[in-house]
Amino acid sequence: MSNTNVETVNRGPDRIKLGLAIAVLAAGIVGYSMLETQPGIVRVAVFLASVVVAALIVWTSHTGKRAVGYIKDSYTEVKRVHWPSRKETTQMTAIVFAFVSVMAVLLWIIDKGLEWVIYGLLLGWK
C-alpha cells in the first residue's frame, strides 16, 4: 500500500484564486461562443487571453508554484536520462516483435490443440 499523501488546496486564498481562474477560463469559453459574428481571429484571441489570465492567476497561488517546481524538477530529471541509441532501439524493437510472434504462434497451437481435444475427441463434433 502506498504511503503517499494527497495534497489538497487548504488555504482560503488559494481556493479563491483557483475558483477565479476557472471562472476566467469559463468566461473565455462563453466569450468565444458569444462572438460568433466576429472574425475567427478575434474569437480565438479572446479565448487565448482568458487562458493566459487564468494561467497567471493560478501561477500566483501556492498550487501553481508547486506545479512550476514539479515541472522544473521533471525537466532536470529528463536531462539526466540516458536515452538508447538508434541501434539499441532497433534491436530491442526486433526482440519484442520476435517474442510477440513466437507467443502468437504458441498460443495458436495451444488453441488448436484444445479445440481438437474438446470438439474432436470429447464431443465428437468434427
Domain spans, the chain: 9-81, 84-126
pLDDT digits (tens, 9 = 90+) for 63-81: 888 888 999 999 999 999 9
- pLDDT reading at 32 higher than 70: yes
What is the band of 50 on the pLDDT scale with cuts at 50, 70, 90?
very high
φ, ψ for residue 8, nearest 5 deg: -115, 170
CB-based contact 68:55 (threshold 8 Å): no
Distance of CA 57 to the CA centre of its chain: 24
CB-based contact 48:73 (threshold 8 Å): no
Contacts of 64 (CB under 8 A, 6+ apart): 58
Contacts of 61 (CB under 8 A, 6+ apart): 9, 13, 14, 17, 18
pLDDT above 90: percentage of residues in the chain: 63
